[in-house]
Structure 1
Amino acid sequence: MSTTLVIGNKNYSSWSLRPWLLLRHAGVAFDEVRLPLDTPEFHARIGDWSPTGRVPVLHDHGLAVWDSLAICEYANERWLRGSGWPQDAGQRAVARALAAEMHSGFPALRAQLPMNCRREPRERHWDAAAQRDIDRIVSLWTERLDASGGDFLFGRFGIVDAMFAPVCVRMRGYGVPLPEAAARYVEAMYALPAMSDWLMAARAETETVAHDEA
């Protein structure tokens, strides 16, 4: 076994999307093992792959790396030659701060707008706490896009964009109204060939996770 990324359902697993997208966009060759979430298969097999019992986890020539951001950092050093972060030290620090905020924050958004790639926009149902999360994200995106002058938060696609990719799915799937710059960012994310591949596979899945379909 060389390089294998173990993921959950593509329709639901926001944590799996992040490293998968980074690796695929960068052209890194890897095998994929998909374990459908909340199924007997998942519970029977996840212990063979992940020390935490969660996905994603990357196996690379005998080394196991778990956690989305840790996998992205490993990929940045192993295959991307540092290009996953901005080259400028100050910009790199800001990008890491944004990625870390996404990694640990926005609990109301996560709970009330779970990622569901098959979802079509319907009536708004989120509360003020989730709206505060949305407003914070839109503010971060707008500030960074204005500064970068490019399609992505620091000009070209990088780790910080991979971390926000599931939020783009949420914004579109729940019909969240967005200002122009943020809407363009979502469009740019959806235009990535790797993102298109993920979404196509997600929409072809037949499994359902009840609490992410409510």
Structure 2
Amino acid sequence: MKLVIANKCYSSWSLRPWLLMRHFGIPFEEVKVPFGPTFDDPAWKAEVARFTPAGKVPALVDGDIPVWESLAIIDYLADTHPDLPIWPRERAARAMARAMAAEMHAGFSALRSACPMNLGKKYAAMDLGPQVARDVARAAFAWREARERFGAGGPFLFGAFTAADAMYAPVVTRLETYSFPVDAATRAYMDAVLDLPAFRAWREDALAEPWIVAEDEVDAEPIANYRKSA
């Protein structure tokens, strides 16, 4: 299988299936197509369109089967690897994990808009408005509820790492990058995701990338810059 992604520093949607596949040891060939100067760059769209009719990343190519959209890719991997606990095995936990993943896929637009994923920098806490605050509060509440109901077996939302954690990993990075104040339970969950070996590998690659994408750089002075070469 081939997984087509964009820049690891910025591409939150690419992170989700990559993290899942790396964590569960699903073999794949990484195809990185760095973003152009803008997200509407014709050359970038043309290159990505070689792999997926949607012209977006991520895209999974399994032989003659293209799959696009992170959540669809994750479900395809669960279908093709039924031996792996990509979703929780227990029905109630699996239902909640799927609902949370779908909510992530469709929602949290204020947080995603105001706080682009940027693994190369850290910013001081700032007031980003009530809609962003509501998104952060909703994420923290959902994480806490999942942990309290189903998280006894480990540090992740449903104990062991699952697709739900992969879907929320970019939210974790945003809370870290933009220094959102969080409670102890949220901090513990964030630390578990940030310390996941698969995430550490992604972040190491991200920090070595040379590209700067202006549209994903916020107009604020960072308090830390982790990039090695940019």
Task: State the TM-score, normalizing by the size of structure 2.
Answer: 0.89
Counterpart residue identity of residue 51, structure 1: P
SS of 1:102's equivalent?
A: helix
Correspondence for 1:132: 134
| Greater shift in the superposed pair: 109-118 or 76-85 | 76-85
Counterpart residue identity of residue 46, structure 2: A
User: How far apart in 2 are the matches of 1:207 and 1:53?
Assistant: 21
Deviation, 1:79, is: 2.3
Correspondence for 1:94: 96
Deviation, 1:50, is: 1.5
**1:122, 1:175 within 8 Å by CA — same for their partners in 2?**
yes
1:159-191 alpha-carbon deviations (Å, 9 max, x no partner): 000000001110111101111111011110011
Structural mapping, 1:32-111, within 5 Å: 32-39=30-37, 41-81=43-83, 83-111=85-113
From 196, 199, 204, the counterpart of 2:203? 199
SS of 1:48's equivalent?
A: coil
Unaligned runs of 5+ in 2: 219-230
1:187 correspondence with 2:191: yes
**1:86, 1:92 within 8 Å by CA — same for their partners in 2?**
yes
1:9-36 alpha-carbon deviations (Å, 9 max, x no partner): 1011100000000000001111011111
Deviation, 1:208, is: 1.3
Which runs of structure 1 show a deviation greater than 2 angstroms over 4 or more consecutive aligned residues?
38-41, 79-82
SS of 1:33's equivalent?
A: strand
Deviation, 1:121, is: 2.5
**2:193, 2:199 within 8 Å by CA — same for their partners in 1?**
yes
User: How far apart in 2 are the matches of 1:123 and 1:144?
Assistant: 26
Task: State the TM-score, normalizing by the size of structure 1.
Answer: 0.95
Correspondence for 2:122: 120
Correspondence for 2:165: 161
Correspondence for 2:7: 9
Unaligned runs of 5+ in 1: none
The 1:8/1:80 distance shift into structure 2, 3 A limit, reads farther
**1:26, 1:80 within 8 Å by CA — same for their partners in 2?**
no
Equivalenced residue count is 212
**2:45, 2:56 within 8 Å by CA — same for their partners in 1?**
no
1:101-126 alpha-carbon deviations (Å, 9 max, x no partner): 00000110000011001121324141
SS of 1:130's equivalent?
A: helix
The 1:114/1:162 distance shift into structure 2, 3 A limit, reads same
Identity of aligned residues (%): 43
Correspondence for 2:18: 20
SS of 1:44's equivalent?
A: helix
**1:145, 1:181 within 8 Å by CA — same for their partners in 2?**
no
**Aligned CA-pair RMSD:** 1.3
**2:57, 2:68 within 8 Å by CA — same for their partners in 1?**
yes
Counterpart residue identity of residue 14, structure 2: S
From 163, 173, 180, the counterpart of 2:177? 173
Correspondence for 2:29: 31
**1:58, 1:71 within 8 Å by CA — same for their partners in 2?**
yes
SS of 1:59's equivalent?
A: strand
**2:24, 2:84 within 8 Å by CA — same for their partners in 1?**
no
Structural mapping, 1:144-155, within 5 Å: 144-147=146-149, 148-149=151-152, 150-155=154-159
